Structure 1
Amino acid sequence: MIIDQTERSSASAGRPPHPWAMWPTLAIAGVLTVAHAVMGAFGDYWIDEVYMLAAGRFHPDWGYADQPPLVPMIGAAMDFLAPDSMFVLRLPVALTTGATVVLIALLAREFGADRRAQTIAAFAGATGLWANLVGHWLAPYSFEPLLWTALFLPLVRWLRQHSQGVADDRLLLAFGLLLGINLQAKFQVAILCAALLLSTLVVGPRALLARPKLWAGAGIALLIASPALIWQALHGWPQLEMSRVVAAESPVLSGGRGGTAVMLLLYAGVLGTALVLMGLWLLLAEERLRPYRMFALAMIVLWIFFVVTAARPYYLIGMYGLPIAAAVVGLQRRREAKPSRWGWAAWPVYAVTALAAGAMIFTADAINRGFSSAITHVQAERISDGIARQVSDVYRALPPEQRSRTAVVGDSYISASMLDIGGRHHPLPEVFSPHRGYGFFGHPDDGIDTIVLFARSADEIRPFFTDARLAVPGDDLKVWVLSGRTEPWAQIWPAVRSMR
């Protein structure tokens, strides 16, 4: 309902001034979706992807130590529909990646972008570096750009309407609903909300915080997220430990704080980075964009926070759409101030833009697949299948009576996930691991006194067994058989469980 009592306007006052650039936006999004769907049908599982699938398929729960349950649930659903199909497993991610482009264009429209500016925004979103690296991997960060951009849309619309004297507070309830869904995908959105709250208190509009439906929306979000939050509380909030793990891994994965600082912006891509920086400046400097200034301050606060805490270099990917939307409107204003004589060529430009986007996307995907193959040594068979076959051969070689008292243990959540997935085609007992989320899935029962261990070294768990032999040597990961357990599993597991 219209609730701003200080100034009432006609319904038309709350509408964006320009129509949606539907066809060029859908063309770019369609090319991006098809590219990721096709390329995603090939290759092996990404390390986080195989974990999502194994967690959802074999260990369904209301929450996990290192993430909420939404993405594992999606993986389990896709695998149930088409077991072992990489195309079906990754199809939701490809659709999500394409949908993000559409939402970025719609976000630009909310800022006042015309069709040409919306097309530029869509093109920038589609050619982002991160979008092309992970746009076909089933992982929480692959869904984050869509979920954050969707979260911003009702809030930006409310701010636009409020600045025009018309504000529909039902948009704030929609914001709360989307926030709850975000919280079921990644908890980092809570840090975003804290930054937005702080920024609103500093630069306004503070009237937003006085709206009862905003806080009702927050209640809806907490209700939706409550299963995962209750799970975390019952298990001692292991998600908090992950922040220390992320900081410890930062020097290797992103070059430390310096690398994180740069990549937090460069993952937007060449055009995207330029527009993000321009958009931030415009949001801070232009009076016309003052109602949205809170977003620029929030992004700067998040950038500082993620650099200081040595976070992952992709934690800002969900915010790229906002400054991009502001920037293309700034470019549009300059164009309107000095009209081009080539306005008749707009639609051919849209077509060329879509084709160029397609070429860039397919090229980036091809490079990415080659890079992924190089670092994971993808063979004709999936790595998970080869690992499971190797461990299964060792397991089946044990005497039958010993096999009944044997479990399989992977030294990391990655190896355990691969064994769980590959074990569907090769005889294996239940798979365990003391690492990260797997460490919370439970430990073997005390009827198990022998383990087949897939690990780089058996040193950590070796003291709890009387005998250990190397069954399959290797340059990196090896297969061990450890027997003669000396302590109850209830004492062994806390001693070997680790989030690092």
Structure 2
Amino acid sequence: MGAGRVSGSLPRFAAVPVGLVVALQAVVLTLLSGRYGFHRDELYFLAAGKRPAWGYVDQPPITPWLARASTAVFGETPTGLRVAATLLGMATVVVVVLIAREFGGGRGVQVCTAVATALSTYVLVVSHMLATNSADTLLWSLIAFAGLRLLRTGDGRWWLAVGAAAGLGMMNKWLVLLLLSGLGIGVAVAGPRRVFRTWWLAAGIGVAAVLTAPVVLWQASHGWPMLTVAGGISDDDGSENRVLFVPMQLVYLSPVLVPVWIAGLVRPWRDAGVRWARALAIAYPVVCVELLALGGKPYYSVPLLLPLVALGAEPALRWLARTGTVLRASIGVVTAVCVVVSVLIGLPVVPATALNGVLLAVNKEPGEQVGWPEFADTVATAWAQVPDKDTAVILTDNYGEAGALEYYGPERGLPQPYSPHMSYADWGPPPDRLVGPVLVIGRIERGSPASRLITGCHAVATHHNAEGVDNDEDGVTISLCDTLTRPWSAAWPQLRRFY
């Protein structure tokens, strides 16, 4: 394909076939959105959304705000909440197709890109359940689209769109800084560097700064808790993340898409028509190196693979057209198998009782959507054994448990739960007038601050979900404790946990 085609007029946007792909995506996601139940993080987002702020201990505000808006409009149910995730997934597909069009991709390339994006494992996961990655995937794609349009056209006004998308990205997850650094290094190394020589760059930075300022100020005024959380993740999981990083890059979208995004990495160096996109090919390895150095989770870089799929779709299709019938048939079979695997991993299509084993080993998130109502039942049974309920407290180990009891507890006669974990710590402590007893969810480790502050504990229940799913709450111990050695206001700082 010549440089004139890509650098000049673009192919028409394939609205009808791409629209059909997106419509089918919406139907499938909606039909499956009510299966299993809330994820632990979704329960936390519901709780955070009811306490609107410019920030939270472990995240900026956009995802909790989306949770609040989606449930306010569509109902406080898994289906109502996940409308937001579905819409974000649909928008991601459209933006990635627009990126493919920027590279001169015609109707066939655009449809292929739409299908590949919608059916990739990672996009299925973040489009089914609402997570910070749901919005992050769209926002990274928007930044890539605006940045590529800037590089292709040289029109400095696109810095405003880059700045707006970056500012929104900072309001959702600060990982967007890695993307911006990767693209910036890519442009500095491979050009076109003329895009830096315009006052529109300063204007774009100004837009991003205005959007980001309230979030940064909130974090600064609260002691930068997100950096504390990030440091804890790196300390706890950094070594494992580094070992798994490269292998997981090959499977998160789908193994069948690996040759496509590799073609995207190579294409700008071989095709003069997309030479202007070399910064994208540089950005991905730069971001990977940054994540390896920081011990970040392997999936953090996956949204950047989607523009590379869009870039590699055309050469991949050209190569496929040149292959023989037998090889094309073999590739078709492999593709079908990968699609089935992606659906099994990314969507709740199997009974919950069938999750244990390979499916949970590959993706643990479906398991965290099972058993929360029964968990609340178990806690309610234990609560019935508590004397002096007027002064008693339910203390949970993590935000998922607290979110579940806040949602399911009232109809079971349970009081407001408390937790020293993440932002729930900011929403506590219990009033000092609640002097005990304490119903503790989770085992109190010997020698921990909790063991010195909460004493006289004995187990009164153990939770198991009815489906037998091996998730984080299956087997959790519930203990009844007699004595609080210090008032809650004094004990709370010692109990607080950031990860």
**Contact preservation (8 Å) 1:35, 1:362:** no
- 2:298 match: secondary structure: coil
- 1:29 match: secondary structure: helix
Residue equivalent to 1:491: 490
| 1:359-388 deviation per Cα after TM superposition (whole angstroms, max 9, x unaligned) | 787666556655785458999x96332222
C-alpha deviation, 1:318, in angstroms: 1.6
Residue equivalent to 1:389: 377
Change (3 A) 1:127 1:150: same
Change (3 A) 1:39 1:251: farther
Q: Could you tell me which amino acid in structure 1 is paired with residue 132 of structure 2? A: P
Residue equivalent to 1:268: 253
- Selected match of 2:231 from 234, 237, 244: 244
Residue equivalent to 1:182: 169
Q: Take 1:286 and 1:378, find their aligned partners in 2: how far apart are those partners?
A: 42
**Contact preservation (8 Å) 1:35, 1:361:** no
Structure 1: which 5+ residue stretches go unaligned?
A: 1-11, 341-354
Q: Take 2:308 and 2:101, find their aligned partners in 1: how far apart are those partners?
A: 13
Residue equivalent to 2:71: 79
| 1:21-69 deviation per Cα after TM superposition (whole angstroms, max 9, x unaligned) | 2222122222222211111121122222222222213x33221111111
- Selected match of 1:218 from 182, 202, 205: 205
Residue equivalent to 2:471: none
| 1:310-334 deviation per Cα after TM superposition (whole angstroms, max 9, x unaligned) | 2112112221222112212334677
How many residues are paired up? 464
**Contact preservation (8 Å) 2:82, 2:129:** yes
**Contact preservation (8 Å) 2:461, 2:479:** yes
The alignment yields a C-alpha RMSD, in angstroms, of 3.2
C-alpha deviation, 1:13, in angstroms: 9.8
- Selected match of 2:114 from 119, 122, 131: 122
Q: Take 2:432 and 2:337, find their aligned partners in 1: how far apart are those partners?
A: 61
Q: Take 1:201 and 1:193, find their aligned partners in 2: how far apart are those partners?
A: 12
Q: After TM superposition, list the pairs within 5 Å mapping 1:295-374 onto structure 2.
A: 295-331=280-316, 365=346, 369-370=350-351, 373-374=355-356
- Selected match of 1:17 from 6, 10, 20: 10
**Contact preservation (8 Å) 1:39, 1:365:** no
Residue equivalent to 2:180: 193
C-alpha deviation, 1:242, in angstroms: 2.4
Structure 2: which 5+ residue stretches go unaligned?
A: 325-335, 465-474
Matched residues, percent identical?
25
Deviates more, 1:237-246 or 1:67-76: 237-246
Is structure 2 residue 42 aligned with structure 1 residue 49? Answer: yes
| 1:162-204 deviation per Cα after TM superposition (whole angstroms, max 9, x unaligned) | 2xxxx2x332112211211111121110121122222222222
Q: Take 1:231 and 1:18, find their aligned partners in 2: how far apart are those partners?
A: 45
Q: Take 2:310 and 2:463, find their aligned partners in 1: how far apart are those partners?
A: 52
**Contact preservation (8 Å) 1:406, 1:429:** no
Residue equivalent to 2:468: none
Q: Could you tell me which amino acid in structure 2 is paired with residue 92 of structure 1? A: A
Q: Take 1:477 and 1:81, find their aligned partners in 2: how far apart are those partners?
A: 35
Is structure 2 residue 100 aligned with structure 1 residue 108? Answer: yes
**Contact preservation (8 Å) 2:376, 2:405:** yes
**Contact preservation (8 Å) 2:141, 2:306:** yes
Q: Could you tell me which amino acid in structure 1 is paired with residue 59 of structure 2? A: Q
**Contact preservation (8 Å) 1:158, 1:171:** yes
Q: Could you tell me which amino acid in structure 2 is paired with residue 30 of structure 1? A: A
Q: After TM superposition, list the pairs within 5 Å mapping 1:248-259 onto structure 2.
A: 248-250=235-237, 255-259=240-244
- 1:271 match: secondary structure: helix
Q: Could you tell me which amino acid in structure 1 is paired with residue 483 of structure 2? A: G
Q: Could you tell me which amino acid in structure 1 is paired with residue 86 of structure 2? A: A
C-alpha deviation, 1:430, in angstroms: 2.4
TM-score of the aligned structures, taking structure 2 as reference length: 0.84
Q: Take 1:472 and 1:333, find their aligned partners in 2: how far apart are those partners?
A: 62
- 1:135 match: secondary structure: helix
Q: Could you tell me which amino acid in structure 1 is paired with residue 424 of structure 2? A: Y
Is structure 2 residue 400 aligned with structure 1 residue 414? Answer: yes
Is structure 2 residue 215 aligned with structure 1 residue 228? Answer: yes
C-alpha deviation, 1:160, in angstroms: 1.3
- 1:316 match: secondary structure: helix
Residue equivalent to 2:330: none
| 1:120-171 deviation per Cα after TM superposition (whole angstroms, max 9, x unaligned) | 2112212212122332111111222212112222221121112xxxx2x332
Residue equivalent to 2:467: none
C-alpha deviation, 1:457, in angstroms: 3.1
Q: Take 2:374 and 2:366, find their aligned partners in 1: how far apart are those partners?
A: 11
Is structure 2 residue 397 aligned with structure 1 residue 404? Answer: no
Q: Take 1:405 and 1:364, find their aligned partners in 2: how far apart are those partners?
A: 45
Change (3 A) 1:458 1:37: same
Change (3 A) 1:106 1:473: closer
Q: Take 1:200 and 1:366, find their aligned partners in 2: how far apart are those partners?
A: 38
Q: Take 1:308 and 1:203, find their aligned partners in 2: how far apart are those partners?
A: 23
Q: Could you tell me which amino acid in structure 1 is paired with residue 393 of structure 2? A: A
TM-score of the aligned structures, taking structure 1 as reference length: 0.84
Change (3 A) 1:231 1:366: closer
**Contact preservation (8 Å) 1:36, 1:94:** yes
| 1:445-499 deviation per Cα after TM superposition (whole angstroms, max 9, x unaligned) | 2222122211133643132135323222458312222233222333322222122
Is structure 2 residue 452 aligned with structure 1 residue 463? Answer: yes
Change (3 A) 1:377 1:119: closer
Q: Take 1:270 and 1:382, find their aligned partners in 2: how far apart are those partners?
A: 28
C-alpha deviation, 1:241, in angstroms: 2.1
C-alpha deviation, 1:279, in angstroms: 0.4
Q: Take 1:308 and 1:87, find their aligned partners in 2: how far apart are those partners?
A: 38
- 1:31 match: secondary structure: helix
Q: Take 1:309 and 1:174, find their aligned partners in 2: how far apart are those partners?
A: 29
Residue equivalent to 1:348: none
